[in-house]
Amino acid sequence: MEIWDVYDKDRNLTGKQMKRGDAFEQGAYHVVIHVCLFNQYGEMLIQQRQPDKGNWKNMWDVTVGGSAIAGETSQQAAEREVKEEIGYTLHLQDKRPSLTVNFENGFDDYYLIEIELNIKDLTLPTEEVQQVKWASKEEIFNMISGGLFIPYHKSLISLLFDMRYNMGAHNEEEDE
């Protein structure tokens, strides 16, 4: 059973906690993370979820995602989820999320990391992940259109690919 810290709308800890699956009280939020690993060819590592997962059975997703559990920072949750889902150790102590997307019940932090990684070295399958593969933005778009990938907004997927090299809302290369 997962226990989550509860935050207010301004992302301040309230001192309350809740169990995963419980109804959210008015004004209660939690932290979710996603990690998107990219290779030197501009491809994202994507995962296929296990057939017994509660949501999105057998569907493809970005590299890793999950909820922060009580007492964890966003970075700690991201490190834990990467280890649990694909068996890789990632160190994010000095990293901030590249992007945070607010949703009805929380804050979704996205970490965009370029990495040299041989997927044959990963420990798969895991309890959550059947398999992984590298995919281009266009391949992910086709998988979304074909109903094989979790139906993210294509504009979000495009933004993740566009922001993988830079923090912030503008392209520093174009500012010069």
Reported as a single tens digit per residue, the pLDDT across 46-92 is 999 999 987 899 999 999 999 999 999 999 999 999 999 999 999 99
pLDDT, residue 1, reads: 87
Q: Is 174 domain-assigned?
A: no
Q: Is 54 domain-assigned?
A: yes
Looking at residues 119-128, what average pLDDT do you find?
A: 90
Q: What is the pLDDT of residues 93-103, one digit of tens each?
A: 889 999 999 99
Contact present, 160 and 112 (Cβ < 8 Å): yes
Cα–Cα distance between 33 and 30 in angstroms, integer? 10
Q: Is 111 domain-assigned?
A: yes
The torsion angle over the Cα atoms of residues 8, 62, 118 and 85, rounded to 10 degrees, is: 60
Q: Is 119 domain-assigned?
A: yes
pLDDT, residue 174, reads: 56
Number of domains the chain is built from: 1
Q: Is 171 domain-assigned?
A: no
Cα–Cα distance between 151 and 120 in angstroms, integer? 27
Q: Is 175 domain-assigned?
A: no
Domain span at residue 17 reads 3-164
Cα–Cα distance between 138 and 130 in angstroms, integer? 22
Q: What percent of the chain has pLDDT over 70?
A: 97
The verdict on pTM exceeding 0.85 is: yes
Q: Is 98 domain-assigned?
A: yes
Q: Is 126 domain-assigned?
A: yes
Looking at residues 10-26, what average pLDDT do you find?
A: 95
